[in-house]
Structure 1
Amino acid sequence: MLTLYYAPGSCALATHIALFDAGAPFETKRVDFGAGEQRRPDYLAVNPKARVPALATEHGVLTETPALLAYVAQRFPAAKLAPIDDPFAFAQVQEFNSYLCSTAHVAHAHLRRGTRWVDAGETDAMEAMKRYVPTSVAKIFELIDSKMLKGPWVLGERYSICDPYLYTLTRWLGDDGVDINSLPKVREHRARMIERDSVKRALAEQDIPA
C-alpha cells in the first residue's frame, strides 16, 4: 500500500490526482503545516526536507513531485499516464514537469517563502521578491500558454502526468496576482481538469474547492 503525505492545496495535489488516475491502491496522511507538523520528528523521519509531498512505497520514501509523478506512471503502466515506452517523449514529460518544479513553483514561492533565499531581516529584498511575483509568474505562464501547452492536454491529445501538475499550479495564479483569463489555453485546461473524476475525488479528500 502506498501512502501519500500531503498538505491541502499544496503541490501534493498533483500526485494525489495522478494516483486516482492510475487506479492505484493508496492511503493519505495529512500534514498540518499550520500546526508545524512538517517539522516534528515523526514527519522528519519520513521526509527530512520538512515538505510535501512524500510517497511511502514498499521500497522506501520518494519526494519531489516530478519524481512521484514519474513513479506513478511507471508503476501503473496500464493507466497510460506517460509515454514510458518512448525515451524522447518521456523526456519531454520530464522537461515540462521539471520546468513547473524548478521555475514556476519557485517563482510562486517568492511570495511567502522568501526566507529560503534571504534572511528574514532583509526586508527590502523580501518585499522586492513579493512585488515581482505577479510579473515573474505571468511571464512563466504566458510561455506555457503560447508554446508549451500543445492541445487540450499538455502533450496534445493525450492526457498525462503533466496535466495534474499544471492544474495544481494554475490554482495558485489568483494569489500570485495573475489573471487566468489572460491565459486562454491555461484557463481552458483548468476547466477541463475540473471535470475529471480523479480531480473531484482528490479535491474532496483534501476538502478544498475546485
Structure 2
Amino acid sequence: MNRPVTEIVCSDDPAILETPMLKLYYSPGACAMASHIALEEAGADYEAVKIDLKKGEQKTPEYLAINPAGVTPALVTDEGVLTDNLVIMGYVAQTHPEAKLADTDSAFRFGQMQAFNAFLGSSLHPAIGRALFSKPPLEGEAKDQALENALVKYRLVEDHLFKGPWAMGEAYTVADGYLSVFSRWGRQAGFLDTGRFPKLNAHLDRVQQRDAVKRVLEQEGIEAV
C-alpha cells in the first residue's frame, strides 16, 4: 500500500520501518495513472512521487538521472528503474500474483493482455495525445483530422478489442486501469459520448467505482469524470 513520502513512522517493528521497495514517479491525470492504479490494486508497498509537468520537473537533472527520456512513469525497484506503463504494469502483475491483475499462468493470455496494452500505448495514446495536447494547439482542419484519427482508434477498441465486462473478459486486469486513462481523457474532452461508445463509457464508470482507483484519484488530487 502507498506510504506518503512525508510519513514518519516510530516503531521497533522492522516490517514497519523497512523502506518501501518501489518508488513510482507520476504526473497527476497523465498516462502514468495507469501504473499508479496497478500498484494500488496490487496492494504493493510503494512510494508515489509527483512530477509536475507544467513546471518542467520532468526535465530537471534529478529526474533525468532516473529517466533520461524525461517522461513519466518511472518505477524505481531494488533491481533498477523500469519505464513505460506497459512494462511497469506487467511487472506489477507478475510480482504480485496474489492480486490476480493478469493471467500469469498462461504465457499466451498474458501476451494477449500485453498486446492490448501495446495498442493503447503505441496507437491510441499518440492519436489522442496529438488531438488534445499538441503544442501549439491544432486548429481547423488539422484539429478535425487528428480527432477523427483518434476516434478511429477508440472505435477499434469499442468494437473489436474490448471483450467485456472488463477489457480482457470476465477478470479485471491491469489493462483496465490503462484503458480508463484514455476513456477519461475522451470523456473530459466531450467526444466519448455514450451513444457512440457505450462499452467504453460503461467500463470507465465501472473502473472509477473500484476502491483502489478511488484512492489513486484522491492521491493525485483529481476527480472522477
Common topology (TM > 0.5): yes
1:156 matches 2:169:
yes
- Which of 61, 66, 70 is matched with 1:46 structurally? 66
Gaps of 5+ in 2: 1-20
- Which of 180, 199, 202 is matched with 2:213 structurally? 199
Q: What pairs with 1:1-210 in structure 2 (closer than 5 Å)?
A: 1-111=21-131, 114=134, 127=139, 129-174=142-187, 176=189, 178-181=191-194, 182-210=196-224
Identity of aligned residues (%): 42
**1:110 partner SS:** helix
* Letter of the 2:192 counterpart: D
Match of 2:8 in 1: none
- Over the aligned positions, Cα root-mean-square deviation in angstroms equals 1.7
Gaps of 5+ in 1: none
Distance 1:16 1:52, change over 3 A: same
> Is the contact between residue 134 and residue 178 of structure 1 (CA under 8 Å) also seen in structure 2?
no
1:129 Cα deviation after fit? 4.5
- Please report the TM-score for the alignment, with normalisation by the length of structure 2: 0.85
Quick one: distance in 1 between partners of 2:213 and 2:201? 16
> Is the contact between residue 137 and residue 178 of structure 1 (CA under 8 Å) also seen in structure 2?
no
Which aligned runs of 4 or more in structure 1 are off by greater than 4 angstroms? 112-115, 126-129
**2:171 partner SS:** coil
Quick one: distance in 2 between partners of 1:112 and 1:141? 14
**2:23 partner SS:** strand
1:132 Cα deviation after fit? 1.9
1:148 Cα deviation after fit? 1.2
Larger radius of gyration: 2
**1:29 partner SS:** strand
**1:171 partner SS:** helix
Quick one: distance in 2 between partners of 1:98 and 1:34? 27
Greater RCO (Cα-Cα under 8 Å, separation 6 or more) = 1
* Letter of the 2:82 counterpart: L
Count of aligned residue pairs for this structure pair: 202
> Is the contact between residue 57 and residue 63 of structure 2 (CA under 8 Å) also seen in structure 1?
yes
